[in-house]
Amino acid sequence: MAIFPIRVYPDPVLRTPAAPVARIDGDIRRLVDDMFETMYRAPGVGLAAPQIGVALQVVVFDIGDGPHHLINPVLLETSGSWSFDEGCLSVPGRYWPVRRPGFARARGLNLAGKEIEYAGEELLGRVLQHEIDHIGGILLLERLPRRSRKQALKEIREEEMLRGKGR
Protein backbone atom coordinates (compact mmCIF):
# COMPACT_ATOMS: atom_id res chain seq x y z
CA MET A 1 0.00 0.00 0.00
CA ALA A 2 1.04 3.57 -0.62
CA ILE A 3 0.21 6.87 1.02
CA PHE A 4 -0.44 9.65 -1.47
CA PRO A 5 -0.18 13.40 -0.97
CA ILE A 6 -3.60 14.97 -0.67
CA ARG A 7 -4.27 17.60 -3.30
CA VAL A 8 -5.26 20.95 -1.84
CA TYR A 9 -7.20 23.91 -3.15
CA PRO A 10 -6.67 25.40 -5.77
CA ASP A 11 -5.40 22.21 -7.51
CA PRO A 12 -7.49 21.94 -10.72
CA VAL A 13 -8.08 18.19 -10.32
CA LEU A 14 -10.37 19.06 -7.41
CA ARG A 15 -12.68 21.02 -9.73
CA THR A 16 -12.82 18.39 -12.47
CA PRO A 17 -15.65 15.84 -12.46
CA ALA A 18 -14.25 12.32 -12.13
CA ALA A 19 -14.80 9.57 -14.68
CA PRO A 20 -16.78 6.45 -13.84
CA VAL A 21 -14.79 3.30 -13.14
CA ALA A 22 -15.26 1.07 -16.19
CA ARG A 23 -13.80 -2.13 -14.74
CA ILE A 24 -13.03 -3.21 -11.20
CA ASP A 25 -9.63 -4.86 -11.33
CA GLY A 26 -6.42 -5.10 -9.34
CA ASP A 27 -5.59 -1.45 -10.00
CA ILE A 28 -8.91 -0.32 -8.51
CA ARG A 29 -8.45 -2.64 -5.51
CA ARG A 30 -4.99 -1.15 -4.91
CA LEU A 31 -6.41 2.35 -5.31
CA VAL A 32 -9.04 1.67 -2.63
CA ASP A 33 -6.40 0.22 -0.27
CA ASP A 34 -4.12 3.22 -0.89
CA MET A 35 -6.99 5.63 -0.33
CA PHE A 36 -7.79 4.05 3.04
CA GLU A 37 -4.14 4.24 4.06
CA THR A 38 -3.97 7.89 2.97
CA MET A 39 -7.26 8.80 4.68
CA TYR A 40 -6.28 7.21 7.99
CA ARG A 41 -2.83 8.83 7.92
CA ALA A 42 -4.28 12.31 7.20
CA PRO A 43 -6.38 11.71 9.46
CA GLY A 44 -9.83 12.02 7.96
CA VAL A 45 -13.21 10.32 7.86
CA GLY A 46 -13.58 10.31 4.08
CA LEU A 47 -11.54 10.63 0.90
CA ALA A 48 -12.40 10.79 -2.80
CA ALA A 49 -9.98 9.66 -5.50
CA PRO A 50 -9.64 13.18 -7.01
CA GLN A 51 -8.19 14.30 -3.68
CA ILE A 52 -5.13 12.17 -4.42
CA GLY A 53 -5.03 13.21 -8.08
CA VAL A 54 -6.94 10.23 -9.50
CA ALA A 55 -9.92 11.41 -11.55
CA LEU A 56 -12.08 8.32 -10.94
CA GLN A 57 -15.37 7.92 -9.11
CA VAL A 58 -14.10 6.15 -6.00
CA VAL A 59 -14.73 7.18 -2.39
CA VAL A 60 -13.71 5.68 0.94
CA PHE A 61 -14.95 6.56 4.40
CA ASP A 62 -14.92 5.48 8.03
CA ILE A 63 -16.98 7.38 10.59
CA GLY A 64 -15.87 5.05 13.37
CA ASP A 65 -17.67 1.85 12.41
CA GLY A 66 -15.04 0.44 10.05
CA PRO A 67 -13.88 1.11 6.51
CA HIS A 68 -16.37 1.45 3.67
CA HIS A 69 -16.03 2.28 -0.01
CA LEU A 70 -18.21 3.10 -2.99
CA ILE A 71 -17.29 2.91 -6.66
CA ASN A 72 -19.32 5.07 -9.06
CA PRO A 73 -21.47 6.40 -6.20
CA VAL A 74 -24.74 8.18 -6.79
CA LEU A 75 -26.62 10.19 -4.22
CA LEU A 76 -30.17 8.79 -4.26
CA GLU A 77 -31.95 10.72 -1.57
CA THR A 78 -31.47 13.49 0.95
CA SER A 79 -33.82 15.00 3.49
CA GLY A 80 -33.94 17.19 6.54
CA SER A 81 -31.38 19.77 7.51
CA TRP A 82 -28.32 19.74 9.74
CA SER A 83 -25.73 22.43 10.40
CA PHE A 84 -22.27 21.22 11.35
CA ASP A 85 -18.71 22.55 11.34
CA GLU A 86 -17.41 20.83 8.24
CA GLY A 87 -13.81 20.52 7.14
CA CYS A 88 -12.00 19.02 4.16
CA LEU A 89 -8.60 17.40 3.75
CA SER A 90 -8.20 19.46 0.56
CA VAL A 91 -8.68 22.71 2.51
CA PRO A 92 -6.60 21.69 5.53
CA GLY A 93 -7.06 23.12 8.98
CA ARG A 94 -10.27 24.98 8.20
CA TYR A 95 -13.84 24.34 9.33
CA TRP A 96 -17.02 26.21 8.55
CA PRO A 97 -20.61 25.85 9.70
CA VAL A 98 -22.32 24.27 6.70
CA ARG A 99 -26.00 23.44 6.42
CA ARG A 100 -26.72 20.29 4.44
CA PRO A 101 -29.50 17.74 4.43
CA GLY A 102 -29.30 15.71 7.63
CA PHE A 103 -29.98 12.39 5.90
CA ALA A 104 -28.46 10.92 2.75
CA ARG A 105 -28.70 7.63 0.89
CA ALA A 106 -26.18 6.64 -1.76
CA ARG A 107 -25.63 3.65 -4.01
CA GLY A 108 -22.54 2.40 -5.78
CA LEU A 109 -20.50 -0.72 -6.35
CA ASN A 110 -18.22 -2.60 -4.00
CA LEU A 111 -14.93 -4.21 -5.01
CA ALA A 112 -16.78 -7.38 -6.02
CA GLY A 113 -18.82 -5.33 -8.51
CA LYS A 114 -22.01 -5.79 -6.49
CA GLU A 115 -24.42 -2.92 -5.88
CA ILE A 116 -24.29 -1.59 -2.33
CA GLU A 117 -26.13 1.19 -0.49
CA TYR A 118 -25.29 3.30 2.52
CA ALA A 119 -27.78 5.52 4.27
CA GLY A 120 -27.53 7.55 7.41
CA GLU A 121 -28.16 10.72 9.28
CA GLU A 122 -25.83 13.41 10.54
CA LEU A 123 -22.16 12.41 10.11
CA LEU A 124 -22.69 9.50 7.71
CA GLY A 125 -25.13 11.54 5.65
CA ARG A 126 -22.69 14.44 5.55
CA VAL A 127 -19.71 12.28 4.59
CA LEU A 128 -21.65 10.67 1.75
CA GLN A 129 -22.68 14.09 0.41
CA HIS A 130 -19.20 15.58 0.86
CA GLU A 131 -17.32 12.76 -0.89
CA ILE A 132 -19.84 12.49 -3.73
CA ASP A 133 -19.45 16.26 -4.18
CA HIS A 134 -15.71 15.66 -4.70
CA ILE A 135 -16.26 13.20 -7.55
CA GLY A 136 -18.48 15.83 -9.17
CA GLY A 137 -15.72 18.44 -8.93
CA ILE A 138 -17.47 20.33 -6.12
CA LEU A 139 -15.47 21.57 -3.14
CA LEU A 140 -16.69 22.37 0.36
CA LEU A 141 -15.94 26.03 -0.40
CA GLU A 142 -18.80 26.01 -2.90
CA ARG A 143 -21.23 24.93 -0.15
CA LEU A 144 -20.48 28.02 1.92
CA PRO A 145 -22.79 31.04 1.84
CA ARG A 146 -21.45 33.71 -0.54
CA ARG A 147 -20.05 36.01 2.15
CA SER A 148 -18.33 33.15 4.02
CA ARG A 149 -16.90 31.79 0.75
CA LYS A 150 -15.44 35.18 -0.20
CA GLN A 151 -13.85 35.51 3.24
CA ALA A 152 -12.49 31.94 3.13
CA LEU A 153 -10.94 32.46 -0.31
CA LYS A 154 -9.39 35.73 0.82
CA GLU A 155 -7.83 34.04 3.87
CA ILE A 156 -6.53 31.12 1.77
CA ARG A 157 -4.93 33.54 -0.73
CA GLU A 158 -3.31 35.50 2.12
CA GLU A 159 -1.89 32.29 3.61
CA GLU A 160 -0.51 31.26 0.19
CA MET A 161 1.16 34.64 -0.17
CA LEU A 162 2.73 34.35 3.29
CA ARG A 163 4.02 30.84 2.54
CA GLY A 164 5.42 32.06 -0.79
CA LYS A 165 7.32 34.89 0.94
CA GLY A 166 8.79 32.52 3.50
CA ARG A 167 10.66 30.49 0.86
SS3 135: helix
List, in sequence order, every beta strand (DSSP E) within the chain: 46-48, 58-61, 68-79, 82-88, 91-100, 103-109, 115-121
Q: Catalytic: 131?
A: yes
Q: Which of 86, 115, 131, 160 is catalytic?
A: 131
Which residue type does 146 have? Answer: R
Count other C-beta atoms under 10 Å from residue 153's C-beta.
Answer: 14
Active site (catalytic) residues: 131
